[in-house]
Amino acid sequence: MDGRPILHDVTAELAPGRVTALVGVNGSGKTSLLHLLAGLRRPTAGTVRLGEHDLAALPRRTVARAVAVMEQNANASVELTVRDVVALGRIPHAGGWRSLADDPAVLDAMRHTGVDGLAGQAWSTLSGGERQRVQLARALAQQPRILLLDEPTNHLDLAHQIGLLGLVRATGLTTAVVLHDLDLALAHADDVWVMDAGRIVAQGPAGQVLDATLIARHFGVLGRVLADVRPGFRWEGLADDAAS
């Protein structure tokens, strides 16, 4: 790291019980911001607050009981079953001698995400899409108040992309999700934060913020908003002079 700030002038608040999509071109700062919200990285200036508290001042276990993170390309280095991986979500709540894998929250989370049929299967043998769902189950087993997801729809086919975001919505948890697909953001997020060069350049309800002008300016793509059948975009190719 060369000491240059990655994020600048970021002021934003996740709305309780709502799904907020972090969108923006590659390198715009989405993952960096998600890591700050998760307490995985600390800001060099400014404060990240969890309720009334400075996140940096809270014990790690307290944060882990409140905030669950599903990272991009999450991996499990040792040979674990699906049930073991989901049980990792119970660590912040662990106490006594009961096996984490026997915790009812583990089974609930596996059922909720549809991976209960894979419980005994080795993590290393799972497909990319199955891994994504198991990682979501691990995050839900944590029983957090806040869910932070970094591109959770990677590796998923279309039906599973929609299904996974539907599951996330159904939790009712305060959620921030990094998404590249603006159609998915429109369909599944309540709010969006649009990032460009380390700043949040627009934020608000997804249907109001994501319009053709903003997309041309901050994504360099010309498009038309389709409002007749469903909210969405029709792409019309790359715009060389999008910002003009």
Ligand X SMILES: Nc1ncnc2c1ncn2[C@@H]1O[C@H](COP(=O)(O)OP(=O)(O)OP(=O)(O)O)[C@@H](O)[C@H]1O
**Site residues, ligand X (CB under 6 A):** 1, 6, 24, 26-32
Q: How far apart are CA 116 and CA 37, in angstroms?
A: 30
By C-beta, is 24 or 92 nearer to ligand X?
24
| CB of 37 vs ligand X, minimal distance in Å | 12
Measured CA distances, 5 to 46, 67, 202 (Å): 12, 25, 20
| Paired tokens of 161 | 């992309």
By C-beta, is 88 or 192 nearer to ligand X?
192
Among all chains, which residue has been given the structure tokens 């890591």? Answer: 35
Residue type, position 148, single letter:
L
Q: Strand 67-70's sheet: what is its strand order? A: 67-70, 146-150, 174-178, 19-24, 191-196, 199-205
| CB of 197 vs ligand X, minimal distance in Å | 9
| Paired tokens of 45 | 């200036």
By C-beta, is 122 or 201 nearer to ligand X?
201
| CB of 2 vs ligand X, minimal distance in Å | 7
Bin 90: left if φ > 0, else alpha if -120 < ψ < 50, else beta. Answer: alpha
| CB of 76 vs ligand X, minimal distance in Å | 22
Among all chains, which residue has been given the structure tokens 């590659």? Answer: 26
By C-beta, is 103 or 151 nearer to ligand X?
151
By C-beta, is 14 or 40 nearer to ligand X?
40
| CB of 3 vs ligand X, minimal distance in Å | 9
| Paired tokens of 206 | 């997804």
